[in-house]
Every structure is written in C-alpha cells, then in structure tokens.
Amino acid sequence: MTAEPEGAAPAALTRLLVPAGLLASVAGAFAYVGAVDPNEPGHYPACPLLRLTGIYCPGCGGLRSAHAFVHGDLTAALGANALAVAGYVLFAAVWTVWVAAAVRGRPLRITLGPVQLWGLGALIAVFTAARNLPFGSWLHP
C-alpha cells in the first residue's frame, strides 16, 4: 500500500474549484431561467435582430429552450432552439472531461483547427439560414 503525498487531496480539490465554479454559475443561470418563464412577456428583452429585421438569429428561442430543458420537456426545448440543446449537451460532455482531467492533475486541452472552426461556423450559418426560410419553419422558436 502506497501512501499518497501529504496535501494531494487538497491539491485535487483546488484543481476542481474552477470547474465547480463554472458549473455553479451555469446551474444558477438555468435555475433562474427555469423559475422565470421566458414565454411570458416582459421578463427578458427581445432579440434586437428579430425586433429590427424579423430574422431569427442562431440564439433566438434559446431562453425558451433552456426553460423547457430545465422542466424536462426535451421536445419543446428542441423546438425552441435545437442548436442550443446541442450546446447544452456539448457543454456537459466537455465539463465532464474537464473534471476528469482536473482530478488526474492534467490540463484540459481542446484544440480546434481551422477545419473544425469553419465547420462550426458553417453549421451555425446553415441553421440560421434554414430557420429563416419557408421550408425551415419547423426550426422557428
């Protein structure tokens, strides 16, 4: 049986402070959106792009999506903003990998090259264009 170096547990806990803080912030934001319904007018500001142009931005419906997600209504969350739901799932996966790396004392390294960044930009652009065209009306929030 090998003894762990003195201070190993506090060091591991220290490495988890930032991921825990981020999770607490995100959980607090989701709790607020879950408690204050964005479907009722007057609680949140309207999207300026939608208000000025009538065009849905990639984030339009994100608050309604988060509200539905918090309440366990995945269908409504996907209907409000499917890209946002994908973002919630991606955040959870990256956060989990981050915590696992922090526990092992390793830094989280996510390297996105030009191909991945252009691909992400293209995905967001296609989603935005599709939700503003007649055939993509099912993507409207």
Q: What is the pLDDT of residues 65-100, one digit of tens each?
A: 999 999 999 999 999 999 999 999 999 999 999 999
User: How much is the mean pLDDT over the chain?
Assistant: 89
Average of pLDDT values for 26-42? 93
Q: What is the pLDDT of residues 109-141, one digit of tens each?
A: 889 999 999 999 999 999 999 999 998 888 888
pTM for this model (two decimals): 0.82
Query: Three-state secondary structure along the chain?
Result: CCCCCCCHHHHHHHHCHHHHHHHHHHHHHHHHHHHCCCCCCCCCCCCHHHHHHCCCCCCCCHHHHHHHHHCCCHHHHHHHHHHHHHHHHHHHHHHHHHHHHHHCCCCCCCCCCHHHHHHHHHHHHHHHHHHCCHHHHHHCC
